[in-house]
Structure 1
């Protein structure tokens, strides 16, 4: 039987409908990708094909081979750091110059590497690079909100096959995210603990949606998962963002992500997915002032891994409610059995 479930963290609904899993042509197995014969601008040795690097983990001179991760400006940037933060009126409308930063993190020198082939050290270098870029960019007081996301595969909107992550920094907080922060703030004021603490307490008590646990993180299949086999990684302790995680916690997170993503590959095969980091604002201004000082207590570091194995239809696009044909309890059970070595 289907259920309409409420997502406490995101103030949204999901329709869990396992019977939809058996409809014709429901499950799409991605066709194997052939390695491109063209020269890849993100491959080691092709550094001249990208703009000059902004950051890299390397022991030699910039823009040469010998790096572990590399960050360059996006060649097709959505926003530009050079733009002025100015507004203009367009009749009854208002618009602003496209101020911001749009960077590409080249995750590894290796081309077409599935993430289950990454080592823990590669995960750590990747996370270390993301943390370093936020730490640097937050010094620009104009940049308030950071979107960190990874698109892998055609159905997840990736336009480059080489493993990469994108960072977009904006001078505004998106309305949907701002609503989440205000809700989390109200929840904290009313209950004197964070909404994340409530979610983790419930999930650890129930156990059936927990995929794995570590010293610092818990991986769950969210109660109101909007996508099949969606998982969330949530910090156990008060650490509001990636930049609040020290190297020890970053290494723990590297292990957790490797085990989780390995299990997803075992269960789903070669699949397309998105990874999104749930990042809070980094600047205090008139918009973020009501909750900014309580962020360390009310917010927790978290990220979501969203497999893109089913198509979206008119109901999802029209209503904003996703139909998920795989119950999160079933998804967690399958993934947990892989993590525990039972399958």
Structure 2
């Protein structure tokens, strides 16, 4: 039986329709899709000359040489540029920004690994450490208001480079979807006196059926209104609003539960394509964020979302904004726990 479920955090609906699993689909074709290794991968160790000069690296030697653990370089095909003027203007009834912002590539590891479950614990920690470093550095640029951290892995997740990498895009304004979500979180906080994340986490701990795993400071679960089959989120249990506020011990704990969760997904799905996103609240106080900005530490919790790309989106999803998920999140969480 199908169910139209509402996500109180995202403020969006998802249609859970198990009957859709019976339809012909290309999931098997996707799992068997072979990814080709490039002869001269620009992200591999020893190929540093094939990328722009690095912005940041975990290393003990000279920049742009072998011997690194992670590297951060400007995206060669920038969506926005830090060199552009930060200028907003009007064109009749329309508004536009000059193409200002930051677009960086985080090279997650020097090893050309095609599966994230092959990463060591140290590689998970280094990846999180590097994203934290870039997030905290870019916070100092008062022109930047929003930072998006995301990982596209595999052809069907829109990745064009097989070597493990993550992207960062920073903008001078907050996207409407993010603005709407955090305003909703702020209203919930004013009405209930606590964060919606806190309420959801308490409810999931009581229900238990959608929890994948827990640690002292983090909880991994399949959301009640999961938009995608095997969609999994990791939330901070404590009032920490973004990755930049975690110390090294918390990063180690997060690396541990993330490694465990990713391994469980691979055991269930085999070699699959996926997107990972990290939620980051607005960085600066301005006319669009001033109503809630001072309350962000209380209303927002760190979250990391893993979205397997197993099925295609169709006209209903694009037209209505409501995804159709053919797998009950309770069943997905049970399978992941067994893994």
TM-score by shorter chain over 0.5:
yes
Q: CA deviation at 1:38?
A: 2.4
For 1:25, the equivalent position in structure 2 comes to 25
Q: Is the 8 A contact 2:35 2:162 kept in 1?
A: no
RMSD value over aligned CA atoms?
1.0
Distance in 1 between residues matched to 2:187 and 2:227, nearest whole Å: 24
Is the partner of 2:151 in helix, strand or coil? strand
Q: CA deviation at 1:86?
A: 1.6
Distance in 2 between residues matched to 1:63 and 1:231, nearest whole Å: 36
| CA displacement 1:70-96 (0-9 Å, x = unmatched) | 000001111111111223333332211
| 2:327 pairs with 1:331 | no
For 1:7, the equivalent position in structure 2 comes to 7
TM-score by length of 2: 0.98
**C-alpha spacing 1:118/1:132, structure 2 compared with 1 (3 Å):** same
For 2:132, the equivalent position in structure 1 comes to 131
Distance in 2 between residues matched to 1:173 and 1:254, nearest whole Å: 28
- Structure 2 counterparts to residues 92-241 of structure 1, below 5 A: 92-241=93-242
For 1:298, the equivalent position in structure 2 comes to 299
For 2:85, the equivalent position in structure 1 comes to 84
| CA displacement 1:127-159 (0-9 Å, x = unmatched) | 000000011111100001100000000000001
Q: CA deviation at 1:199?
A: 0.4
TM-score by length of 1: 0.97
Distance in 1 between residues matched to 2:107 and 2:170, nearest whole Å: 17
Is the partner of 1:147 in helix, strand or coil? strand
Distance in 1 between residues matched to 2:282 and 2:15, nearest whole Å: 30
Distance in 2 between residues matched to 1:259 and 1:88, nearest whole Å: 47
How many residues end up aligned between the 2 structures?
Answer: 338
| CA displacement 1:151-193 (0-9 Å, x = unmatched) | 0000000010100000001110000100011110111111110
Q: Is the 8 A contact 2:236 2:302 kept in 1?
A: yes
Q: CA deviation at 1:4?
A: 0.3
Q: Which moved more, 1:24-33 or 1:175-184?
A: 24-33
Is the partner of 2:125 in helix, strand or coil? helix
Q: Is the 8 A contact 1:240 1:301 kept in 2?
A: yes
| CA displacement 1:254-302 (0-9 Å, x = unmatched) | 0000000000000000000000001101111121111111111111000
| 2:27 pairs with 1:16 | no
Distance in 2 between residues matched to 1:210 and 1:36, nearest whole Å: 36
For 1:245, the equivalent position in structure 2 comes to 246
Is the partner of 1:169 in helix, strand or coil? strand
For 1:70, the equivalent position in structure 2 comes to 71
Distance in 1 between residues matched to 2:138 and 2:107, nearest whole Å: 17
Moved over 2 A (4+): 25-38, 87-92
Distance in 1 between residues matched to 2:94 and 2:187, nearest whole Å: 31
Q: Is the 8 A contact 1:35 1:112 kept in 2?
A: no
**C-alpha spacing 1:17/1:26, structure 2 compared with 1 (3 Å):** farther
Give the gaps of 5 or more residues in structure 1: 339-343
Is the partner of 2:27 in helix, strand or coil? coil
Distance in 1 between residues matched to 2:108 and 2:26, nearest whole Å: 32
Q: Is the 8 A contact 1:151 1:275 kept in 2?
A: yes
Is the partner of 1:316 in helix, strand or coil? helix
